[in-house]
Chain A
Amino acid sequence: MTTSTNPAPATTPVLDANGVIMRFGGLTAVNNVSLQVNAGEIVGLIGPNGAGKTTFFNCLTGLYVPTEGTVSYKDKVLPPRSHLVTQAGIARTFQNIRLFANMTVLENVLVGRHTRTKEGLWSALLRGPGFKKAERESHEAAMELLEFTGLAHKRDHLARNLPYGEQRKLEIARALASQPGLLLLDEPTAGMNPQETQAAQELVFAIRDQGIAVLVIEHDMRFIFNLCDRVAVLVRGEKLVEGTPDVVQADERVVAAYLGTPFEGAPGDEEVAEVRAAEAKAADGATSTTSKPRTEEEGDTE
């Protein structure tokens, strides 16, 4: 799977966000961010907490009306209305899973197909052959997506009763049901264990292989750098760097944004040793044993 990470010579941008600014009163949450996503590309969007990643997502998908700037999908400027954005071909998932909790898994996916079907009230009331055909096709398409995400055996379960990882998958299946050209994933692996994260990565590659461009927000750096063709870093509402994972990983400003810059009078080695010695003296006894396993664990989890 990973072998196919070609840099995508296709230069046709699917998504073109141009100078997006979002202000809430005096606070500028997103400041003049431009971003392009090309067809068949996986682009990552990272940044510390509160950097404005989700706000930017909301601007892209029409949940927020950007104060300035435009968002266009395949050279067409999108109106800031969420259902029109989805209709145009951009689907999304949410950071805090927003499934239709009391609907079944299958129904959730069927709702995702809303924009790709046209049967209105009259057709539903009269139940003509057209209605039945459309329903059958919708069911088939939905089941196909459930097979794709590995949820087919749970089609009749309520969404609320799915385990966490499967809820995430279902959200992706639901988004895919609208047959998007671009999929926006907002922290798809939040709260997942390493195996689940690995599975999510495979899933994103599989989606990309279907010709769907993906823009993903994530805090899991290993996941992002394995996955993405290009990564953009958002800090305090502004785009700091954009480039291949290697470039971004090596950039000092990114490290600084996450960890803070070392200040001038950084403690020297001897001072550190001094503090350690003092601590050891003070904590001579039972307390030191309690702190030990913690450091080990931290070392494990990086």
Chain B
Amino acid sequence: MTTQTTTETQAPATPKAPKALSYATLGGAVLSFASTFLAWTWTAEFPGNLTVDGYPGGLQLLTLTGALLTAVLVLGGLGIPGLRWATPGGKYASVRLMALATFATTWFTVIAIAVELGGLVNLEPGAWLAAVATALTVALSFALPREAEPTGTSGWATFAAFFKAPAPAAAKELPSWAEILLIAVAFGIGLLAFTYGIGTEGAEDFLGFLLLIGFGVAALNKSGLSRRLTGLTVKHKNVTVTAAFVSAFAFPFTQTSDAYTSVGTNILIFATVALGLNIVVGLAGLLDLGYVAFLGVGAYTAALVSGSPNSPFDVHVPFWAAVLLGALASLIFGVIIGAPTLRLHGDYLAIVTLGFGEIFRIGMQNLDGTSGPDITNGPNGIPNIPDLEMFGFNFGESHTVLGVELGRFSNYYLLMLLVTIVVVLVFRRSDQSRIGRAWVAIREDETAARAMGINAFRLKLLAFALGATLAGLAGTVQAHVTYTVTPAQYKFVESMPPNSAFLLAAVILGGMGTVSGPLIGAALLYLIPAKLQFMADYQLLLFGIALVLLMRFRPEGLVADRRKQLEFKETGQLDTPKGDIGLSKAGV
């Protein structure tokens, strides 16, 4: 294997794999593909129906997708006309990763069948075929030449070189309608993947899905496709934003029941709040560990004026007024907390905001009539918040739109989507302005920013207050979605989002300073605990491990922001050239 690569990689440009090897890999992929049409087990006890000969089902669909993509990448690498677009970047690294994705999902499935049903006897020949075929594909893919020389002689460096891929060449100009169509298709695929992920039934399906997505996305990165797509989205910014919202808008229409739209609604609430936090953390660089309190302020305000029979105020203001009140209350709360604490920096600010977050929760707990005035019913919170009704449209009832029945959660999902659009707009517009630049400058170097005439305290307070207002806005909707507002919903950390720790994690996991980062991060951080209920006891442990791994291997988050992208675009030169300084020292 290695001898072959060394002879092949004489030319440093792009080593070519022997055709036979590529076709063998292709054969492996085709075999894996075929295996999904066979039965993998004999009983339907295993989630998803894997017992049918003739068509794939359940987890087999994932293997099928993986195998298909592997085949496409191999063919792209072979330069088959019509498929060359698939691998503008790494021809072989992408195949390796895609083969690994298929392998991981398939073996996970096979092992899960054996473990859950109690033994290897439960595997039908189809499963054996799938396991062997995917393993074979991986083995063959590793025989394909490396596209980069290892950086060292250590085992790790040799291994890592298998996954290094050259950057794609500049894309050919396409007519703009074709580019826009590509963006639309990409978002369509994204929506499809999201709907599949949200609709997975068992933890097995979801884990298999995560494995495929994880390795698959890495493969697409290596193949250069995602770089191409990013290029397109940057070029057609408005189209991209529109496409994103159209696919988000389409989501409830793809659902047959309200079960998964409720998940979608909660993800949207979580994601919107995370995006608000991104202004504070990602742009202005203020580490806020008590951010969920602002969501609570908005929710409590909306609950108090919602006309709930359990609210001490016997008022029922229209929703738009409740939204304004909630946002205003959060704004005031934000300024009150921000004004004294923003004189602190870094860790100190984090600790103080953490404290204020807890003070809010405990304060709400104590306004129960015994420890303080009776406003919030203490730990019981404010239940029976009525459903919204606007222009005769009751959010609590099902409506049929375009032949699709939209249940309660679909209604709230669409309302929440409006709030998300507002927050995205606020984020984007404030980021790309004098104010946003000043925030980033403060984050980068506060002393220098002040020396450039920036009133750092005032701008930090503005970021803090704006973030608080946006969270309050989301809170007013959340109060109606959940029917009940209790202090326990607004803890620093618990096993279900949104809470301060998860919000911060969503921002950091997704990518600070970006719009899509927190949205993706929030979706993952909501779905993973929700789908993997069987691991509930270890959830925080896994969460911690995941964060540590992320910080080690991808500190910029899943989506790198514009500036970080730039950092990678240039030649990886990290600091000023050292030779220059040494030379000039002699001249002084």
What is the interface of chain A, defined by CB distance below 8 A to chain B? 61, 63, 82-83, 86-87, 91-92, 94, 98-104, 107, 110-115, 117, 119-121, 123-125, 127, 131, 134-135, 138, 156-158, 160-165, 167, 174-175, 178, 191-194, 196-197, 219-220, 297, 301
Binds A, one of B174-182, B531-539, B574-582: B574-582
Could you tell me if B445 and A163 are in contact, using CB atoms closer than 8 angstroms? Answer: no
CA distance A228 to B570 in the complex (A): 39
A-B contact pairs, 27 of them (CB 8 A): A63-B447, A91-B451, A98-B448, A99-B445, A100-B441, A101-B445, A102-B444, A114-B438, A114-B454, A115-B454, A120-B435, A121-B430, A124-B432, A124-B433, A124-B435, A125-B426, A125-B429, A135-B433, A162-B576, A163-B576, A164-B580, A167-B576, A191-B584, A191-B585, A192-B584, A192-B587, A301-B587
The residue from A86, A101, A161 contacting B451, defined by CB atoms under 8 A apart: A86
Residue numbers in B under 8 Å from A175 (CB-CB):
452
From residue B145, how far is it (CB to closest CB) to chain A in Å? 32
Q: 0/1 per residue, B460-476, Cβ < 8 Å to A?
A: 00100010000000000
Bound form: Cα–Cα A91–B452 in Å: 7
B563 in contact (CB, < 8 A): yes
In the complex, A250→B566 CA distance in Å? 52
A131–B566 CA distance with the chains assembled, in angstroms: 26
State whether B584 touches A193 (Cβ < 8 A). yes
Cβ contacts B551-588/A at 8 Å (1 or 0 each) = 00000000000011011001001111100110111111
Q: Which of B429, B451, B570, B573 contacts A127 (CB 8 A)?
A: B429
Query: How many residues on chain B are close to A (CB under 8 Å)?
Result: 45
A110 to B438, CA, bound (A): 9
Contacts of A101 in B (CB 8 A): 444-445
A191→B426 contact, CB < 8 A: no
Which of B456, B466, B567 makes the CB contact (< 8 A) with A121?
A: B466
The 5 closest A-B pairs by CB, nearest first: A115-B453, A124-B433, A86-B453, A193-B584, A100-B444
Given the complex, which residues of A lie within 8 Å of B570, measured CB to CB? 157-158, 161
Q: Is B455 an interface residue (CB 8 A)?
A: yes
CB of A190, distance to nearest CB on chain B (Å): 8
Q: Are A131 and B441 in contact (CB under 8 A)?
A: no
Inter-chain contacts of B450 with A (CB < 8 A): 63, 82-83
Report the bound CA distance from A194 to B451 in whole Å.
29
In the complex, the chain A residue whose C-beta lies closest to that of B583 is A193
Are B436 and A197 in contact, with the CB atoms below 8 A?
no
Return chain A residues, CB-CB under 8 Å to B455: 83
A219 surroundings in chain B (CB, below 8 A): 588
Contact B563 A102, beta carbon cutoff 8 Å: yes
Shortest Cβ distance from A196 into B: residue: B584
**Nearest chain B residue, comparing its CB with the CB of A101:** B444
Q: How far is the CA of A104 from the CA of B584 in the complex (A)?
A: 26
Complex alpha-carbon distance, A121 and B429, angstroms: 9
B585 / chain A contacts, CB cutoff of 8 Å: 191
Known: A100-B445, A115-B452. 16 other contacts (CB 8 A): A100-B449, A101-B444, A103-B563, A104-B566, A110-B434, A111-B438, A115-B453, A119-B434, A121-B435, A125-B429, A138-B434, A164-B577, A165-B580, A178-B453, A191-B588, A301-B588
Complex contact B453–A87 (CB within 8 A) = yes
Q: What is the CA–CA distance of A103 and B439 in the complex, to the nearest angstrom?
A: 11
For the complex, is B437 an interface residue (Cβ under 8 Å from A)?
yes
B52 at the interface (CB under 8 A from A): no
B440 within 8 A of A: yes
Whether A220 contacts B588 by the Cβ 8 Å rule is yes
A86 near B452 with CB under 8 A, answer yes
The answer to whether A111 touches B454, judged by C-beta atoms less than 8 angstroms apart, is: yes
State whether B430 touches A125 (Cβ < 8 A): yes
List the B side residues contacting A178 at CB < 8 Å. Answer: 452-453
Residues in B lying within 8 Å of A, measured CB to CB: 425-426, 429-430, 432-438, 440-441, 444-445, 447-456, 462, 466, 563-564, 566-567, 570, 573-577, 580-581, 583-588
Q: How far is the CB of B163 from chain A (nearest CB, A)?
A: 25
| Nearest CB in chain B: distance from A138 CB, A | 7
A161–B451 Cα gap in the complex (Å)? Answer: 22
CB contact under 8 A between A103 and B440, given known A82-B450, A114-B454, A158-B563: yes
Contact partner of B580 (CB less than 8 A), chosen from A103, A157, A163, is A163
Measured in the bound complex, the distance between the Cα atoms of B8 and A90 in whole Å is 63
Distance between Cα atoms of A107 and B588 in the complex (Å): 32
Q: Which residues of A contact B453 (CB under 8 A)?
A: 83, 86-87, 112, 114-115, 178
Flag if A174 contacts B588 (CB, 8 Å). Answer: no
- Complex-state Cα separation, A115 to B585, whole angstroms: 36
What is the number of contacts between chain A and chain B, taking CB atoms within 8 Å? 147
Residues of A within 8 A of B577 (CB): 163-164
Report the separation of the CA atoms of residues A174 and B453 in the bound assembly, to the nearest whole angstrom. 11
Instruction: Please give me the residue from chain A that is nearest to B433 by CB atom.
Output: A124
Interface contact B437-A103, CB-CB below 8 Å: yes
Q: Contact at B456–A117, with CB atoms within 8 Å?
A: no
What CA separation (Å) do A120 and B570 show in the bound complex? 33
- Residues of chain A within 8 A (CB-CB) of B466 are 121
Are B437 and A191 interface neighbours, CB within 8 A?
no
Shortest beta-carbon distance, B317 to chain A, in Å? 25
Nearest CB in chain B to that of A165: its residue: B580
The residue in A100, A113, A119, A197 that gathers the most chain B C-beta atoms within 10 A of its C-beta is A100
Chain B proximity of A294: nearest CB distance (Å): 12
Contact across chains for B563 and A174 when beta carbons are under 8 A apart: no
With a cutoff of 8 Å between Cβ atoms, the chain A residues found around residue B441 in the complex are 100, 103, 111, 114
> Is there contact, CB below 8 Å, between A111 and B452?
yes
Whose C-beta in chain A lies nearest to the C-beta of B448?
A: A98
B247 CB to closest chain A CB, in angstroms? 25
Task: For B437, give its contact among A107, A157, A197 (CB under 8 Å).
Answer: A107
User: Which residues of chain A have C-beta atoms less than 8 A from B430's C-beta?
Assistant: 121, 124-125
Kindly state the separation between the CA atoms of A104 and B444 in the bound complex, as whole angstroms.
12
Q: When chains A and B are docked, how far (Å) is the Cα of A102 from the Cα of B556?
A: 12
Give Cα A111 to B580, complex, Å. Answer: 28
Given contacts A124-B436, A125-B429, contact A61 B567 (CB under 8 A): no
CA distance in complex: A112, B451 (Å): 9
| A35 smallest CB distance to B (angstroms) | 19
Complex alpha-carbon distance, A115 and B449, angstroms: 11
Is B437's CB under 8 angstroms from A110's CB? yes
Q: Which residue of A lies closest to B513 (CB)?
A: A102
Q: CA–CA, A152 to B454, complex, Å? A: 24
The smallest C-beta distance from B572 to any residue of chain A, in angstroms, reads: 9
The distance from the CB of A177 to the nearest CB of chain B, in whole angstroms, is 8
Taking a contact as CB atoms under 8 Å apart, the answer to whether A161 and B573 are in contact is: yes
What is the CA–CA distance of A120 and B426 in the complex, to the nearest angstrom?
13
Bound: A160/B448 CA distance, A:
15
Nearest A residue to B440, CB-CB: A103
Q: In whole angstroms, how far apart are the Cα atoms of A113 and B430 in the complex? A: 17
Rounded to whole angstroms, the CA-CA distance of A157 and B564 in the bound complex is: 11
A63 CA / B588 CA spacing, docked (Å): 29
Contact of A124 among B429, B447, B563 (CB under 8 A): B429
> How far does the alpha carbon of A254 sit from the alpha carbon of B456 in the complex, in Å?
40
CB <8 Å contact, A124 and B445? no
Q: In the bound complex, do residue B576 and residue A301 qualify as a contact, i.e. CB atoms below 8 Å apart?
A: no
Q: Which of A110, A121, A138 has the most chain B CB atoms inside 10 A of its CB?
A: A121
Given A114-B438, A138-B434, A164-B581, A100 and B588 contact (CB-CB distance below 8 Å)? no
A contact residues around B445 at 8 Å (CB): 98-101
- Assembly CA distance A250 to B548 (angstroms): 63
Check B444–A197 contact: CB distance below 8 A: no
A297 to B586, CA, bound (A): 9
Chain A residue nearest to B561 in the complex (CB): A102
Distance between A131 CB and nearest chain B CB, rounded to angstroms: 7
A161 and B438 CA atoms in complex are apart in Å by 21
Minimum distance in angstroms from B429 CB to a CB of chain A: 5
User: How far does the alpha carbon of A180 sit from the alpha carbon of B51 in the complex, in Å?
Assistant: 78
- For B566, list chain A residues within 8 Å (CB): 104, 156-158
